[in-house]
Amino acid sequence: MVVLNKIYTRTGDDGTTALGTGERRPKYDLRIAAYGTIDELNAAIGLARLHTAANADLDAMLVRIQNDLFDLGADLCTPERPDKPARERLRLVETQATRLEQEIDRLNAELAPLTSFVLPGGTPAAAHLHLARTMCRRAERMIVELAAKPDESVSAAVVKYVNRLSDFLFVAGRHVNGKGSGDVLWVPGQNR
């Protein structure tokens, strides 16, 4: 259980922050930036939820995702170290990505077929979900870059989850746009 009685600690005044392992890193460190972007994504999903309350099924999916994103942040905040004894840490698991796949399939089955790329927009909910999707893609790029570093560890479940989440957010954006009928479609070269 997390207990936060004091919000400021002054320990970050030197431009560093602590990982879950206790190790201190600069606040611009790629790992910190990656889980900071996950936090930003979570906030964007919170904004989208202001417009999805009428769709209880989708809103429940988004609540689960917001919780998953805290799990994902905890996973990134506590890298595994082969030279340190293993302690039980909160890790993202494969079933979280599998659940996303099932929800994508369920929402996608109701959508009109795509005939072009979709421009972000349509309803307020769709616009917010598309914005969250772009934040998710940015987080994914950072996480994949972090995973490619030889001295860093990122679980395969984290990489897979953020990849599936951006797909989910795309499909959810179409779903709230009249199940695709209200999508704003790209018209190549329209303004030449």
Q: What is the pLDDT of residue 37?
A: 97
Q: Structure tokens of 63?
A: 């609540």
Q: What is the pLDDT of residue 106?
A: 97
Q: Are 93 and 157 in contact (CB under 8 A)?
A: yes
Global model pTM greater than 0.85: yes
Q: What is the pLDDT of residue 90?
A: 82
User: Is 56 buried (19+), middle (13-18) or exposed (0-12) by CB count in 10 A?
Assistant: exposed
151: left (phi over 0), alpha (psi -120 to 50) or beta: alpha
Q: What is the pLDDT along the chain (192 residues), one digit of tens a residue?
A: 566 677 777 766 777 787 777 788 878 899 999 999 999 999 999 999 999 999 999 999 999 999 999 999 999 999 887 666 556 678 989 999 999 999 999 999 999 888 899 999 999 999 999 999 999 999 999 999 999 999 999 999 999 999 999 999 999 999 999 998 899 999 999 999
Angle at 164 between CA 65 and CA 75, to 5 degrees: 60
Q: What is the pLDDT of residue 85?
A: 57
Q: Rounded to whole angstroms, how far apart are CA atoms 152 and 71? A: 19
- How many other C-beta atoms can be found within 10 angstroms of the C-beta atom of residue 6? 7
Domains and CATH numbers, the chain: 25-78+92-185 (1.20.1200.10)
DSSP per-residue letters across 119-161: ES-SSHHHHHHHHHHHHHHHHHHHHHHHHHSTT----HHHHHH
Angle at 29 between CA 27 and CA 34, to 5 degrees: 100
